Structure 1
């Protein structure tokens, strides 16, 4: 006989600048302001916003900033899902400062380098030329002693998106043969697989696929100047875009965080904790295919976020999704997590939780336990999308935060479903739960509670409809940015550069 146990987690209470505590970011920001109001005199009263791009779209971005500054009503009667945007200063208690002095225009009456770049016939060359144009402008702003912006709007016109959003090609037969020969040569000298990461006989090792957003974010990471991508979809009203108030909410929260702000924070339920997501991404070039352990995406219970790149894992033909770190790699990554956390907070956490979407094997468990043996509470948590489904009486699916345990041994968590704060289920399909498994002193219920709470910690949007915890929600994006950055570890690891 199957024994089912059901209960619902309460939406996580978020902390804001005032005494109000609510699970809805928009409501909390509107009534109590951002969390960093508690920092008092250490908090600046203005955000300086730079802009890069063609003059016409930069002008559109400035008009959008003016619109966000003054407030935007909702279309039709206000609802829990569509709330009017009161204005940036009203919500965040900071003024947006933007002007021509903080702007680099990429065209003028005499020259249009973007048009010239897009006229080229080689897709990869077009892509690189566009990246170089924006990178040079970004470095100009980042190198200033005065009038240096806190965050930069990188304005991309539609023609750039149409021709350069992504570029991709396959290896030629000659390149495949060369890569095969390189692998054989390395093996015959009994060198490590990761020696393939070095340049080989001065030959090119170009990417086979590139993403414009990732490339620009990598340049911002190198310049240590956060950016916000701006496209016509953000600036223009129309049937294919969200309503202006919703766009203003999401844009403003992301801008505020990237400029150094703390919009809200979880109410820490227990000892000081560090939550870590470990994910893998593919790194393909002409000569190599490595599955890179892209991160620890780590977040303290105080909201501090950072990213650390791990070492590479060879790509095997039959590997599929079954990717694991070696014991040494897990040990090294664990030590680096603690070192980075301590450098940011001045101490080690009392509790550390690691999230992964594949099972921890014996080598990974040994490595993490050896590196993190001084942490009082260490939990290794796997969350896997499941075919398990619940059908709820009525017209809506189960609420977010619903937990079902089967025979006391298997735990399923819904992070998508009916959301009480907006009084509806906003998804098009039957929601899919995660199966949650935990290794360590804490049970799967505690692990599921952490996961649910961390779905509300995406500071790149005011939307509460996040399915993944913030430890894993940006895994693919962060991996792509680090690929573009290069093989050296970046000096800056703050998560505000990756979202």
Structure 2
């Protein structure tokens, strides 16, 4: 129902760190109090490194520097110095026990000359994935996190639509389109192996993640220029430009290392106990001529802030006319059932969540909503929330900086504009140079107060453990929806169980 627009402000959500101390900026909390799981994850950690010898050596050198303070060329409030891995997180890498797997540079260079993108990326990703799976099955030395350190050319030519420069050395090896999906096996295994490459998306990152899901191998992929740009670049001006981000890079890599090692760097300060947030994920399948087939999945985030991913079924979920995704009643019921049972098991309290907020970018139709509510009846209250980006509305003010992050304009009883980007007093600046756009938060199913929903959404923008930043522009329930969908559909037969969020990022 339309109302007179009401403008109000939501205070910056606080995070909880070591000793249950609170602060709004993750970097402040880590420097002052340490991570939330400081008593659970501490001391030495065992890592593995996969890559060519030069890249592995650069990464080890960088990790040693990460144990010392790291500053930036232009350090300020918004870019604080990194105090060191032990000082911030209470952990240190056991350099005497790093497991190293060598990838031959000659093999990398050979496949980088493949002009067919499918063959190039498939073979490059197998150089890393096959070795990791072999180690996982045959060796006993525990490795909590694997670093994949890759040449910049793998990143450059391992993305969709990437093409290598024309050269006489290029290898034109591939199959014709009619041969790629042929059900008739080739006479020689070599051609059957070539055919397998076309079952995967041309994306090195997504292929690696997809190929390792079934073995539950946790990885962090880094480019060599990320950790060794001063050694491989010659342009001093370019080097100085990159040095501005040294501390931010150290914060991000250290936070990711701690999280993927099993620790929560921080959690929400104002916990709403027994509340669950579910973000719906959809990804179209490009090989469907009808343009309707899609994969569905869900990201579940519990009240602590940790997350898990559930893969749903593949079906005709996409409507090219409305450009919306909708699943069937049975699939909706199955998805909410998995979420409720996982919540009950994860918390170890033997109870279901009191409330489940389902976040999506589109509206819910009657069939899927019936599936959600009927399966949750007697167990949890279900609320459907649509969250969309918009550029149709801006709010200006007569000050040096734009509107503050947290500003909210309620325009209907169940709908509001929420500014997740804007001026941040703690940083004394705004993130980005342009006047920020709000996101639209709307309760489309169920009953809840829009003020509380907006407060929750703002808090969920601070749970990106893949980086150490003040906040994101999107809640974590939707922030990684596209990338998770791409990992789940990177291969034709990607199989996985319910896995923690860290396996996908």
Larger deviation, residues 145-154 vs 353-362: 145-154
Cα distance, 1:286–1:129 mapped onto 2, change above 3 Å:
farther
Cα distance, 1:137–1:71 mapped onto 2, change above 3 Å:
farther
1:467 corresponds to which residue?
Answer: 473
Report the alpha carbon displacement of residue 58 of structure 1 after superposing the two structures with TM. 0.9
Report the alpha carbon displacement of residue 395 of structure 1 after superposing the two structures with TM. 2.2
2:449 corresponds to which residue?
Answer: 443
Q: Output the CA distance in 2 between the equivalents of 1:215 and 1:173.
A: 22
Matched, 1:88 2:85: yes
2:458 corresponds to which residue?
Answer: 452
1:104 corresponds to which residue?
Answer: 101
| Kept in 1: contact 2:46–2:98 (CA 8 A) | no
Report the alpha carbon displacement of residue 468 of structure 1 after superposing the two structures with TM. 0.7
1:46 corresponds to which residue?
Answer: 44
Cα distance, 1:142–1:431 mapped onto 2, change above 3 Å:
same
Note the alpha carbon deviations across 1:372-397, whole angstroms, 9 max, x for none. Answer: 11334321111122322211221222
Q: Output the CA distance in 2 between the equivalents of 1:329 and 1:264.
A: 33
1:215 corresponds to which residue?
Answer: 207
Report the alpha carbon displacement of residue 315 of structure 1 after superposing the two structures with TM. 6.4
**Which residues of structure 2 form unaligned runs of 5+?**
164-174, 187-194, 231-238
| Kept in 2: contact 1:16–1:35 (CA 8 A) | yes
Cα distance, 1:293–1:268 mapped onto 2, change above 3 Å:
farther
Q: Output the CA distance in 1 between the equivalents of 2:253 and 2:481.
A: 21
| Kept in 2: contact 1:292–1:313 (CA 8 A) | yes
Matched, 1:155 2:149: yes
| Kept in 2: contact 1:107–1:113 (CA 8 A) | yes
1:418 corresponds to which residue?
Answer: 423
Secondary structure in structure 2 of the residue aligned to 1:294: strand
Secondary structure in structure 2 of the residue aligned to 1:59: helix
1:34-73 matches, cutoff 5 A: 34-39=35-40, 43-73=41-71
Q: Tell me the TM-score normalized by structure 1.
A: 0.87
Secondary structure in structure 2 of the residue aligned to 1:447: helix
| Kept in 1: contact 2:69–2:82 (CA 8 A) | yes
1:21 corresponds to which residue?
Answer: 22
Cα distance, 1:330–1:259 mapped onto 2, change above 3 Å:
same
1:246 corresponds to which residue?
Answer: 248
Matched, 1:118 2:112: yes
1:190 corresponds to which residue?
Answer: none
1:434 corresponds to which residue?
Answer: 439
| Kept in 1: contact 2:317–2:327 (CA 8 A) | no
Q: Output the CA distance in 2 between the equivalents of 1:368 and 1:98.
A: 49
Larger deviation, residues 366-375 vs 158-167: 158-167
Cα distance, 1:383–1:202 mapped onto 2, change above 3 Å:
farther
Larger deviation, residues 381-390 vs 134-143: 134-143
| Kept in 1: contact 2:55–2:150 (CA 8 A) | yes
| Kept in 2: contact 1:396–1:425 (CA 8 A) | yes
Report the alpha carbon displacement of residue 313 of structure 1 after superposing the two structures with TM. 3.5
Alignment length (residue pairs): 470
Report the alpha carbon displacement of residue 416 of structure 1 after superposing the two structures with TM. 1.0
RMSD (CA atoms): 2.8
Q: Output the CA distance in 2 between the equivalents of 1:142 and 1:221.
A: 12
Secondary structure in structure 1 of the residue aligned to 2:312: coil
Cα distance, 1:287–1:207 mapped onto 2, change above 3 Å:
farther
Report the alpha carbon displacement of residue 168 of structure 1 after superposing the two structures with TM. 7.2
Q: Output the CA distance in 2 between the equivalents of 1:44 and 1:486.
A: 39
Match of 1:284 among 283, 286, 310: 286
| Kept in 1: contact 2:291–2:320 (CA 8 A) | no
| Kept in 2: contact 1:326–1:363 (CA 8 A) | yes
Matched, 1:354 2:352: no
Cα distance, 1:470–1:398 mapped onto 2, change above 3 Å:
same
Report the alpha carbon displacement of residue 63 of structure 1 after superposing the two structures with TM. 0.8
Secondary structure in structure 2 of the residue aligned to 1:355: strand
Note the alpha carbon deviations across 1:467-495, whole angstroms, 9 max, x for none. Answer: 11111111111111111355454135111
Secondary structure in structure 1 of the residue aligned to 2:202: strand
Q: Output the CA distance in 2 between the equivalents of 1:233 and 1:374.
A: 54
Q: Output the CA distance in 2 between the equivalents of 1:356 and 1:316.
A: 14
Report the alpha carbon displacement of residue 289 of structure 1 after superposing the two structures with TM. 4.9
Note the alpha carbon deviations across 1:88-133, whole angstroms, 9 max, x for none. Answer: 011111111235751111127xxx2111222333322111111111
Secondary structure in structure 2 of the residue aligned to 1:354: strand
Larger deviation, residues 316-325 vs 154-163: 316-325
Q: Output the CA distance in 1 between the equivalents of 2:119 and 2:378.
A: 50
**Which residues of structure 1 form unaligned runs of 5+?**
180-198
Match of 1:273 among 262, 266, 275: 275
